[in-house]
Structure 1
Amino acid sequence: MKGRFFISLLLLIFSGRVSAQNAAAPVGLVDFVLSPDSENWLYPLNQNASVSILVLKYGLPLKGAVIDYEYGPEMFPVDKKGSLTLKQGTAKIDIGSCSKPGFRQLSVKTVYDGKVYRGAIKLGWEPEKIQPTVSMPADFMRFWNKETEGCRKVPLDPELTFLKEYSTPDVDVYLVKIHISQGGKAVYGYLCKPKGAGKYPVLFSPPGAGIKGIAPSVFYAKQGFISFTTEIHGISPLLDAATYKEISNAFGDYWYHHISNRDEYYYKDVYLGCVRSVDFLCSLPEFDGKNVVVTGGSQGGALSIVTAALNKRVTCLAAFYPALCDLTGYLHGRAGGWPHIFSPKNSPVTDRPENIKCLAYYDVVNFAKNISVPGFYSWGYNDNTCPPTSIYAAVNSIPVAKTVVITPITGHWRFEETNQQSVDWIRSQLKKLE
């Protein structure tokens, strides 16, 4: 028995060491450095842009590297393809210009020792002038006001379960279930409350895309907020990963469910669930009665804008690279937002009048036009998940003061420094208690 225990212990230690020794490298063995000839990555209309290309191995130029390149309009078929031999590890490529506000993308790749290495960069032409392509239904806010009034007739009946395993000496964590429709639709989430007595601002954090488990984060609670992080599908986040994967595989791409029916489209209950999540936070006795924040990224960024437009209790928002923006952009010859419903590969099936009409009620651009509170918005140019053209279409439509932080080099991610900027900005918006 002791021998078996000793052998098992050795195997456990050894497997841990192997795992640590084979951790993923933080950088590539071969890296591309792509540098535009404009410091802010932006150009006047009709001005050509060029990109300097540097291929590095061990931080030094890889002489003789052969690269394949292609460039063209963002998210559309390329204009040109070619190849170059970098005798000194460097080259420069002119990628053309735009006659209308928008973006162009250069993609490069090289093969070294049998492995393919890739790089990409997007550059913009007067993107602050990008206007949305999606139409605004005449009854847009009338429709949504009716829907929010209707869902508020359903008692929230919050069910709270204390989660000792996730709580800390400073923060209590609860699993919460709230009800949002007569049909029994519910939303689950994690409520994180500072333990100290007193009144606190509340913060709602809607999730990114997908059907997957979420973990509680005490980050904002440690910053002095009562925070609520939710899922959107009515599935307990305490399910194991394997079960979630089975559900996701069976359910498929939820953003297509009832896409031609405004009253039954999947995101209707999602948007209403966000409204009611804020209502729940505002019902807590520890709420300070003044400050209501909503923040998220990607789908969560989209839902942050939607929530701020529909729930007038919200006092400020911070949205990173929001999805669901200007979905019809593809039908007008430019990039549309995630989930790319009308992209060239999908449009033969999805490009139908009833779909376009329905999605106008769910496009984030039309909610952005109804924002009335201060907002912090941030994204990067190298994002193919939520293309910058689609985000500009939404943010350019916001009629009130906004703080915009652009980090051109980022894709569908953000720097910690930018995240901290958003936290500092949120704090600057808090109203002091009398």
Structure 2
Amino acid sequence: MRKIFILSVLFLFAIHAQAIKEKKDLVTIQITPDHYDWNYKVGEPAHFTISLFQDQQKLKNIKIGYEIGPEKMPPIQKDSVWLKDGSAVIKTPGMQHPGFLSCEVRVIIDGVLYRNLINIAYDCEKIQPTTLLPKDFRSFWEEQISRMREYPMKSEMTFIPDESDADVKVYRVKISHYARGNYLYGILCIPNREGRFPAVLRLPGAGVAKHTGDKELARRGVITFQIGIHGIPLDLKPETYIGLQSGALKDYMYYRMNDREKYYYNRVFLGCIRANDFITSLPQYDGKNLAAYGGSQGGALTLVTAALDPRVKFLAAFYPALCDIGGYAHNRAGGWFGAKELTPEEIQALAYYDVVNFARYIHIPGFYSWGYSDETCPPTSFYSAYNTIKAPKELYLLKETGHWRYLEQNAKVNQWLINELTGK
């Protein structure tokens, strides 16, 4: 059996976890499943109605091509059809096991290629992980955290007057990590008034970028600490991050992934715990209400932090990455997009970093949000983690969305965090 590890570099150059859908094509391809809720039972056939629109009017006598099959897998149907009256219905026998079925449509009009894809769910609540839990999973991470804490935490806070205002004080933060000369950097936002406040650890999507902090939640009475994961300052020139993105830190997610103690995400996961060490040391922190929050890579880090750190009482995650990494070896979609052959050593090491294994140890309330049509973090992968979580969970599902989110989702998660952290 081919053993495939899915982690794409493409997502580094796409809109990542904080993305908002803005682009609108001249021609819109509408794919409408025959179930209003996009949910089907295993073995149930499905029908897709395909229509093209321009200027709110249907386009007729246009030939489109389509492919249908389990997401990220070779198509089981591939053909073309004419939209003689502006629409056509495509029938498919569906799926014989829990998962997501993709319908992709392409059309060329006036030399321009247009494309759309949607996924429909087949008993998605029954999707289970393929990744196995190592027997020493908990003890391994307890040892890693203990090793980190052998090196004392020291922090430096630099006030940023240009970013601060009457409501929020903003600081650059530099924290000693787990070895001499190794640092964690972040942006701290504190409500500019007397009192003690709940806190949110903001975890970044993939890539190499400058972070500016979360002042919106801080204005509402919450300390926010947004961290970078690469051990580089967050006040460098933009071209520096671009250079690192395409140079020294290109493909960072592959670094030493055959060694469970030296894999790149080892220091990243530990950095999330160290960030909480810093938050809980602040005199302005209320001492009891701490949440983790992020999307994509940040969603993965959110679930990891919630599993490893009992100080975290709430979590909010959008379309988490790194879920069921080995899914492709079982002929189904796994976490992240792209493909790489895995060695036995890599398979063994990556089980300690697979989010589905952290999901087994989450016992706190969580807010989750995503869509069915995510091509970067396939829903088969993150449902394998979501279904493993037994703690209270609220899902805000917007089926059409992919690896992006609406402003309404941001407003929803912020209100959920405020309600949970303040008890309002």
TM-score w.r.t. length of structure 1: 0.90
Deviates more, 1:94-103 or 1:321-330: 94-103
> 2:318 aligns to what?
320
Distance 1:278 1:174 in 2: 16
Alignment pair present for 1:53 and 2:73: no
Distance 2:325 2:378 in 1: 11
Q: Which runs of 5+ in 1 are unaligned?
A: 1-23
Contact 1:155-1:179 at 8 Å conserved across structures: yes
Alignment pair present for 1:310 and 2:308: yes
Q: One-letter code of the match for 1:335?
A: A
**Residue 397 of structure 1: which of 388, 392, 405 is its match?**
388
> 2:142 aligns to what?
145
Match of 1:430, SS state, is helix
Distance 2:393 2:380 in 1: 18
Alignment pair present for 1:416 and 2:413: no
Change in CA separation of 1:105 and 1:284 when aligned onto 2, cut-off 3 Å: same
Shift of 1:216: 2.6
> 1:215 aligns to what?
212
Quick check: which has more Rg, 1 or 2?
Answer: 1
> 1:231 aligns to what?
228
Shift of 1:401: 1.6
Change in CA separation of 1:233 and 1:339 when aligned onto 2, cut-off 3 Å: farther
Alignment pair present for 1:79 and 2:76: yes
> 1:365 aligns to what?
356
Distance 2:135 2:180 in 1: 28
Contact 1:101-1:127 at 8 Å conserved across structures: yes
**Residue 186 of structure 1: which of 183, 186, 191 is its match?**
183
Distance 1:432 1:120 in 2: 40
Q: One-letter code of the match for 2:195?
A: G
Change in CA separation of 1:330 and 1:314 when aligned onto 2, cut-off 3 Å: same
Q: Deviations over 1:151-208 (max 9, x none)?
A: 1222221111111111122111111011111243211110001101001001100100
Match of 2:247, SS state, is helix
Contact 1:178-1:186 at 8 Å conserved across structures: yes
Distance 2:151 2:217 in 1: 29
Alignment pair present for 1:115 and 2:112: yes
Distance 1:372 1:94 in 2: 42
Distance 2:255 2:161 in 1: 37
**Residue 34 of structure 1: which of 17, 27, 31 is its match?**
31
> 2:255 aligns to what?
257
Distance 1:297 1:232 in 2: 14
Contact 2:176-2:183 at 8 Å conserved across structures: yes
Q: Which has the higher contact order (CA 8 A, sep 6+)?
A: 2
Q: One-letter code of the match for 2:323?
A: C
Q: Deviations over 1:117-165 (max 9, x none)?
A: 1111111100100000001000101010111122122222111111111
Match of 2:114, SS state, is strand
Deviates more, 1:331-340 or 1:166-175: 331-340
> 2:416 aligns to what?
425
TM-score w.r.t. length of structure 2: 0.92
Q: Deviations over 1:92-120 (max 9, x none)?
A: 11133111100111111111111111111
Distance 2:22 2:218 in 1: 33
Contact 2:186-2:234 at 8 Å conserved across structures: yes
Contact 2:294-2:301 at 8 Å conserved across structures: yes
Task: Indicate the percent of aligned positions where both proteins have the same amino acid.
Answer: 44
Change in CA separation of 1:303 and 1:356 when aligned onto 2, cut-off 3 Å: same
> 1:274 aligns to what?
272
Distance 1:97 1:180 in 2: 50
Q: One-letter code of the match for 1:375?
A: G
Say what the alpha-carbon RMSD is for the aligned residues.
1.5
